[in-house]
Structure 1
Amino acid sequence: MRKALGYGLIAALTLPAVAHAATPGFDVDAATRAYLALLQGPSRAQSDAYFEGGYWLPLWSTLVSSLVYLALLFTGVSPRLRTWAERKTRKRWLVPGIYALPLVVLTTVLTLPWSIYAGFLRENQYGLMNQSFAGWAIDAAKAFGIGLIFNALLAILLFAVIRGFRRSWWLIGSGVMVAVVLFGALVTPVFIAPLFNTYTELPAGPIRERIVAIAAANQIPAEHIYVSDASRQTERISANVSGLGPTIRITLNDNLLERTAPEEVVAVMGHEMGHYVLNHVWRLILAFSLVVLLLFFVVSRIAPALIARNPRWGVRNVADPAATPVLLLLAGIGGLILTPVQNSIIRHHEIEADIFGLDAAREPDGFAKTAMRLSEYRKISPGAVEEILFFDHPSGENRVRRSMQWKKDHVPGATMVTPSPITGK
């Protein structure tokens, strides 16, 4: 009975906020500056350098992969792999899958130096990597094995569509791609993610009780709240909503529990619950389906002409598995060009989840402090255009200011706090 009353009290305190008159004496700008001051000097310079360097990573990744695809075409390796695959089976539908196996191996090997730099060396350089190279390599090998199987199956499906629908393959193919993504989202939390991390139930205690109460107040199932051992890989704090239907779940990593105060954990979980309540998983899938549709359409118009103008490549037509490097080349360039669009789509949903989380958790200072922790590796105060182009989440400064504005508007008698230094890294 006492426990039930406790849950009821916590639930009452965590119901979505009712707007109050703004607190006249609370200075949003001063409160925001107090938080921003937590990241200064060398720490801020390092954070900015890391994030700004990341602006170039998609460009260099696209350049590296494009050079590899062009090399496979101009050296004739791609048509030779197709001919080899054709000799391995009489089943035409299976040829693209067999072709994809050595292609994935070859492209992985050729891009391995870049992958090591971007995935391990750079993270280690900025103090964000907790793994040894051997540990990182083991995880990379697991991802490679999964990718090998996934890409072979995807090649079979997509080239079957291209052969069967010569004029409208871009439309049917984009639908197939979305279906594959949906299947991946469904199975990843249960079958893929546990290959890289251990997931356990969040232990009983005040934090779990508070999270359960917020979930109950917003009609969110909270029988299971998972914690991943991400600290074995990285210093980053994180939480997420993953899965679809029966596999959907909210997970926080152990860094969040170990490096932050309880009010910060609750603030982050309120944000993640916002993704759940606002159906962001489905909305993002719909939005990115349109992006995929556009990419497929553009590729379907350019690829045939590009193949026809380069007979030395040895690619018969767009339905030839040997055309895979051409398709990947165009898709990669198109994806790079559309990066600001994709970032804006995600950022819009993150802002909505921020607002929901502030209303649900009622922890504006906890959320502001978390935003500052995230700014250990995210530039804290970008320009407006910079944020639109390169940020897939709101900047730390915008998140802190939104938290302080919420505090002024919803907390009667709000007072400015002096935030404690960021520690725990």
Structure 2
Amino acid sequence: MTITTMLAAAATGGFDVEAATRAYLDMVQGVTRARSDAYFEGGYWLVLWGFLIGAAVNWLALHFGWSAAWSAWAARKARRPSVRTMLYWLPYLLVTSLILLPWSIYTGFAREHQYGMSNQTLAAWGTEQATSLLIDLLLGALAVALVYAVIRRFSRSWWLWATGVTLGLLTFGALLAPVFISPLFNTYKPMADGPLRTEILAMAKANKVPADNVYVFDASKQTDRISANVSGIGPTIRISLNDNLLNRTSPAEVKAVMGHELGHYVLNHVGRMLATFGLVFLAIFLFAWWAAPRLLARYGRRWGVREVGDPASLPLLFILFSFGLFLATPITNSIIRINEVEADAFGLDAAREPDGFAHVAMRLSEYRKLEPGKLEEMMMFDHPSGYNRAKMSMEWKARHLNELPPEQRVILRPAPLPAKAP
């Protein structure tokens, strides 16, 4: 990174936030920016097409009587309703996943390689998908059985109980995933001793994060994206960062990222996300509770589905729920983005590395549109844009200019990011 004294007035307390922000934005130029914008904007259409294709597959399961046949098969194999529901889940998941496989290959493998976002071979990607499918078979069967249990038990208020079950399962997943799920896809090793590890743990201790180790996982086998997290609840809390963050960034950038991630924990974003998303789920389940019986009254005989409590209604509930989530996309994006902004502000205070964080924001803009319009960011971004993150960093720097070392009081002009090969 080269440094220029674009503003000699920096030494006397003057600092041009806009010029400093623009210096970082200039890191992402030409082919790199065009590819990033195209990749991210294409994702807008993936949200729509993902909903439509998923809805079409579930409609096929209803229209051709597959769902009714799977339910009848499960009823012959088991008398207990919960076991019947779990057995139903087996053919439902396998058949729908098989039909959706071409779409999954395009979105998860082909398109990622097209934009230089994946390092995986098709075999490696397929192995991970198979692992995910096995996890979905086991945990999904439990989740569906619990939801249908409350549907049968509380016919008038199952929408309320189903929301509670969903939040309970999400909480359980947050507790389980760091220890049992994530290691199925990556190898986690303690970070080597050194000044950077010491500084990360010192930040954690200063902010009362109960973690006594830092783990590094090998995400580079999948992608070049940088990432980190403070995950888990209670005894499963762990600080993790991927090898890309260590290998592609400076210590200042690593500290900036880890300050942000510690912010998520200190600000209780997991709990707040569960609460706010719970309200969204409540509204969607209420919509499904209202719409499903009416649709079954009209089409149920044709589909072979008698009532909502029959697991054969699952494709219909998935269509209704995914429709609700699709409409709520701007809301859910905003919930996440607000939390991210708060974590950004916390991380700047905790790490005190404004240039490190602005530099990271540009690296993240390799696959996120750098300068969207205000409405576009509000509707489609679940994280702040690179522009807003760089500007926030430079505003923090301007406010704390006299507290920084002299060499950091000037506007930095980092070298442009190299174009990634597709």
Tell me the amino acid that sits aligned with residue 175 of structure 2.
Answer: L
Tell me the amino acid that sits aligned with residue 360 of structure 2.
Answer: T
Whether 2:393 is the aligned partner of 1:398: answer no
Whether 2:66 is the aligned partner of 1:71: answer no
- Match for 1:167 among 144, 156, 168? 156
Provide TM-score, normalisation by structure 2: 0.94
- Name the residue aligned to 1:140: 129
- Distance in 2 between residues matched to 1:378 and 1:163, nearest whole Å: 44
- Match for 2:243 among 254, 276, 284? 254
Matches within 5 A, 1:111-150: 111-150=100-139
Root-mean-square deviation (Å): 1.5
- Name the residue aligned to 1:419: 414
Tell me the amino acid that sits aligned with residue 127 of structure 2.
Answer: I
CA displacement at 1:423 relative to structure 2: 5.2
- Distance in 1 between residues matched to 2:11 and 2:380, nearest whole Å: 33
- Distance in 2 between residues matched to 1:160 and 1:367, nearest whole Å: 47
CA displacement at 1:295 relative to structure 2: 1.1
- Match for 1:92 among 50, 56, 81? 81
CA displacement at 1:424 relative to structure 2: 10
- Name the residue aligned to 2:260: 271
- Name the residue aligned to 2:90: 101
- Name the residue aligned to 1:323: 313
> CA 1:23–1:406 in structure 2 vs 1: closer, same or farther (change >3 Å)?
farther
CA displacement at 1:245 relative to structure 2: 1.3
Does the 8 Å contact 1:36/1:397 carry over to 2? yes
Q: Note the residue ranges of structure 2 that are not aligned, 5 or more in a row.
A: 1-9
Tell me the amino acid that sits aligned with residue 343 of structure 1.
Answer: N
- Distance in 1 between residues matched to 2:45 and 2:227, nearest whole Å: 23
Tell me the amino acid that sits aligned with residue 390 of structure 1.
Answer: M
CA displacement at 1:252 relative to structure 2: 0.8
- Name the residue aligned to 2:5: none
Which digits, 9 at most, give the CA deviation of each residue in 1:74-101, with x for residues without a partner? 1111101111110111223311111111
Most deviating of 264-273 and 91-100? 91-100
CA displacement at 1:234 relative to structure 2: 0.7
- Match for 1:297 among 286, 293, 311? 286
Match of 1:200, SS state, is strand
Tell me the amino acid that sits aligned with residue 109 of structure 1.
Answer: L
Does the 8 Å contact 1:104/1:148 carry over to 2? yes
- Name the residue aligned to 1:366: 356
- Distance in 2 between residues matched to 1:112 and 1:296, nearest whole Å: 28
- Match for 1:35 among 1, 20, 24? 24
Tell me the amino acid that sits aligned with residue 266 of structure 1.
Answer: K
Does the 8 Å contact 1:259/1:423 carry over to 2? no
- Distance in 2 between residues matched to 1:22 and 1:110, nearest whole Å: 63
Does the 8 Å contact 2:246/2:254 carry over to 1? yes
> CA 1:229–1:380 in structure 2 vs 1: closer, same or farther (change >3 Å)?
same
- Distance in 2 between residues matched to 1:373 and 1:251, nearest whole Å: 19
- Match for 1:54 among 36, 43, 53? 43
Does the 8 Å contact 2:32/2:419 carry over to 1? no
Whether 2:33 is the aligned partner of 1:44: answer yes
Whether 2:343 is the aligned partner of 1:344: answer no
- Name the residue aligned to 1:216: 205
- Name the residue aligned to 2:4: none
CA displacement at 1:221 relative to structure 2: 2.7
Tell me the amino acid that sits aligned with residue 387 of structure 1.
Answer: E
Tell me the amino acid that sits aligned with residue 95 of structure 1.
Answer: R
Tell me the amino acid that sits aligned with residue 401 of structure 1.
Answer: K
CA displacement at 1:68 relative to structure 2: 0.5
Whether 2:233 is the aligned partner of 1:244: answer yes
Which digits, 9 at most, give the CA deviation of each residue in 1:233-265, with x for residues without a partner? 011101112211111222111000000011000
- Name the residue aligned to 2:369: 379
- Distance in 1 between residues matched to 2:203 and 2:85, nearest whole Å: 49
Matches within 5 A, 1:3-42: 24-42=13-31
Does the 8 Å contact 1:229/1:254 carry over to 2? yes
- Name the residue aligned to 1:80: 69
Match of 1:309, SS state, is helix
- Distance in 2 between residues matched to 1:308 and 1:239, nearest whole Å: 49
Match of 1:174, SS state, is helix
CA displacement at 1:23 relative to structure 2: 6.7
CA displacement at 1:22 relative to structure 2: 12
Which digits, 9 at most, give the CA deviation of each residue in 1:95-139, with x for residues without a partner? 111111100000000100000000000101111101100000000
Match of 1:226, SS state, is strand
Most deviating of 364-373 and 275-284? 275-284
- Distance in 2 between residues matched to 1:399 and 1:255, nearest whole Å: 20
- Distance in 2 between residues matched to 1:46 and 1:236, nearest whole Å: 15
Tell me the amino acid that sits aligned with residue 57 of structure 2.
Answer: V
- Name the residue aligned to 2:183: 194
- Distance in 2 between residues matched to 1:396 and 1:125, nearest whole Å: 22
- Name the residue aligned to 1:312: 302
Does the 8 Å contact 1:259/1:424 carry over to 2? no
- Distance in 2 between residues matched to 1:421 and 1:209, nearest whole Å: 31
- Distance in 1 between residues matched to 2:178 and 2:97, nearest whole Å: 25
Tell me the amino acid that sits aligned with residue 119 of structure 1.
Answer: G
- Distance in 1 between residues matched to 2:172 and 2:374, nearest whole Å: 36
Sequence identity percentage: 56
Match of 1:227, SS state, is strand
- Distance in 2 between residues matched to 1:365 and 1:308, nearest whole Å: 61
- Distance in 1 between residues matched to 2:68 and 2:127, nearest whole Å: 32
- Distance in 1 between residues matched to 2:353 and 2:29, nearest whole Å: 24
CA displacement at 1:48 relative to structure 2: 0.2
